[in-house]
Structure 1
């Protein structure tokens, strides 16, 4: 099982990694519709205060990813991608079980800490994709990871909403079972993608985000700009997993089932864009224009969410398809960054990026949940559940400005090959 993936097997391996991420996200999606009710049942707090607790739970999860992202990425560069991916699945099975059995916030925090450590392995999934993908197809193949996220959110929340009707804790045990099943599947099916000759010794001194980013930025001058843009982008994007369920409950009083179906609709849009549309648009209009379209689409959708929170629930069904195009942004940046570094440091790149994204996930949830609580708590001067989305839309536009500056440097840099020109829409 340690043999490297040969070129003819790259397509099947790509499909398998897609399935690994999909099943992981399926488990994660299952718990999202019922997390607000679990927190309120444990703490006895209102939905506004429960959202604040959820923000700090997300903080703990992201803090662990920040610390362990580069470590896991460097371990995968030393020992290969396969053992890291399999170990993460086992950890997820434990974490979800702990959440299901939790009777206090302490239990929940312990579970999220374990899940955060295991979640650092997503950088390894991106490195696996980079290992088996030609440079010109990396952006499109990175989009498959986004599609796996999207499909996980299509099926997972729908299942979670249905299971939640029979018990708030049942979805957590279902997620644990899926992670365990995926571990067994991967043990027998997943092959190694990193050949021994491309591995490098593990260096603990390099296994942190700051050192890794310095090493990468030393190769060229554009990676730091792209990574910063992606970090700011993720700060905006984190509003969805942390606020969306609380927003739908506070604004419209929706049940777990309807919340789950709304998440499923979001996932369907993400899967469509990142699994199919990105493969048409990126070669045609280029990574720059794809990123611009993605950022503007998110900003516009956030405006709709703000307006919908005033009692116009139908606007949510406009915001969801418009916002789906935001899925063009991250794969475009990942593709540009991946092409700007050497093959031997793909794991280090993705590990550093994972930790930088974790900075966004550390700072974003407490900010967005605090804004949500301020605009939904009893006695609030102005009741506006969609306020966090307004803030997220502004942050997305800042990320776009940073990206455009980095792209301009990329096009003029002598250290890396400039991005290819976009193909005309009509040949």
Structure 2
């Protein structure tokens, strides 16, 4: 487990490094902010679409060839994409390399499959929480470091990120062991690996099909928040880069604390099903709190409370889906989950832009500026209701079987 945690941490720091500077790089090839916004949307859309198609394929390949070689391919692709972006002399080069990067990059999905390989089902929620903590830590350190390096040279973060991806490749090649033994592998099948069939297969996993819809709703809410956060806080509180940086730092720190430390104790008292259902309800309340906050300091209070009451939901849902899949299907299952996330990541910018466009004319402090977060709260509440109804049906079916 320490091997894969270090791998994920380095990977997330490298990805986080380019977050503050990628829009700036795109802006160097455009004439005005409107063009910059449009083409940055195209870059993000390109990556999401490519990742939607690539993740289930790479996940299925990891079921056939093992996790280690697919992770190494992902690290190499990531390194190449960072370095080429840093050297790009035209906008089409950035779009092309993000297309390539999205297709080759399923590291998070394969890392989750790796964890499933080496972890008994009853411990997976806790270990998926540790993976989530590494995500939080990486996205805390990465953007902070990227902003500092970008202040010296806007291209520098891409070369540092490429170097870290190469470091991860070397670490994986010389240190990271394979987690999937030969007897648990299965042949690659294009019919199962295409994204439509992969999502259909995900929904047909025994006993957890409705949780796929729950995961999609939660993912759409999360990505909508990511896309709306900076503009929302600017419109409502007049925040600048410094305040937004502090708030995102707080989010990362709380993710590390809750998923890295508190989740272990929460799982001793509550089952993953309860943590999933009540975590979704807690997340709904958290989004509502973000939308209703009337002062900037309130956002930090909501971040802290929301991480505690809703922080166990994602790891719990991932563990329930993983436990429903066979040992030889973990790569494709996690790849399908990554594909689902990519699909919501493509939809979220459109949703957040439309909702913010409806309220952007309102004066600072107007509660209706929180419309994107009210929408997210509704998504999470619907997910919680679907999860509770699904778990109730499972209990009734079990009781009938016993009778």
Superposition TM-score, scaled by structure 2 size: 0.89
Q: Is the 8 A contact 2:225 2:372 kept in 1?
A: no
Q: Please name the residue that 1:21 is paired with.
A: 8
Q: Which moved more, 1:52-61 or 1:63-72?
A: 52-61
Contact 2:216 2:340 in 1 (8 A): yes
Aligned to 1:8: none
Q: Deviations over 1:342-365 (max 9, x none)?
A: 212122221222222222112112
Does the C-alpha gap of structure 1 residues 408 and 112 become closer, same or farther in structure 2, counting only changes over 3 Å?
farther
Output the CA distance in 1 between the equivalents of 2:149 and 2:238: 19
In structure 2, the residue matched to 1:364 is: 348
8 Å contact 1:80–1:193 — kept in the other structure? yes
Q: Post-superposition shift, 1:139?
A: 0.9
Aligned-residue Cα RMSD (Å) equals: 2.7
Q: Which residue does the alignment assign to 2:130?
A: 144
Question: 1:294 deviation in Å?
Answer: 2.4
Partner in structure 1 of residue 283 of structure 2: 298
Q: 1:218 to 1:264 in 2, by over 3 A?
A: closer
Aligned counterpart, 2:320: 336
Distance change (3 Å), C-alpha of 1:327 and 1:247: same
Measure, in 2, the Cα distance between the counterparts of 1:34 and 1:385: 27
Distance 1:181 1:240, change over 3 A: farther
Q: Corresponding residue for 2:213? A: 228
What per-residue deviation string (whole Å, max 9, x for no partner) do you get for residues 66-115 of structure 1? 11121111100000000000110111112222333345543332232223
Partner in structure 1 of residue 395 of structure 2: 411
Deviations 1:345-390 (A, max 9, x none): 12222122222222211211221133334543xxx35666644223
Distance 1:247 1:105, change over 3 A: farther
| Corresponding residue for residue 178 of structure 1 | 164
- 1:121 shift after superposition: 3.1
Question: Higher mean Cα deviation, 22-31 or 164-173?
Answer: 164-173
Change (3 A) 1:102 1:401: farther
- 1:422 aligns with none
Q: Would the aligned equivalents of 2:16 and 2:146 in 1 still touch at CA under 8 Å?
A: yes
Q: 1:299 to 1:168 in 2, by over 3 A?
A: farther
Structure 1 contact 157–261 (Cα < 8 Å) conserved: no
Change (3 A) 1:155 1:70: same
* CA–CA separation in structure 2 for the residues paired with 1:217 and 1:306: 32
State whether structure 2 residue 242 is matched by structure 1 residue 263: no
Q: Secondary structure at the match of 1:411?
A: helix
1:190-214 alpha-carbon deviations (Å, 9 max, x no partner): 1111111111111111112332344
Q: CA deviation at 1:400?
A: 1.6
1:187 and 1:291, CA in 2 relative to 1: closer, same or farther beyond 3 A? same
What is the match of residue 131 of structure 1?
Answer: 117
Unaligned runs of 5+ in 2: none
Aligned twin of 2:144: 158
Aligned to 2:335: 351
Alpha-carbon deviations, 1:127-165, whole Å to 9, x = none? Answer: 100000011101111111101101102211221222232
Of 256, 260, 274, the match for 2:259: 274
TM-score of the two chains, using structure 1 as the length reference: 0.84
Unpaired segments of 5 or more residues in structure 1?
1-13, 419-427
How far did 1:181 drift? 1.2
Contact kept, 8 Å, 2:199 with 2:340, in 1: the verdict is no
Contact 2:117–2:327 (CA<8 Å) still a contact in 1? yes
Equivalent residue for 1:321, pick from 304, 310, 327? 304
Q: Which residue of 2 aligns with 1:5?
A: none
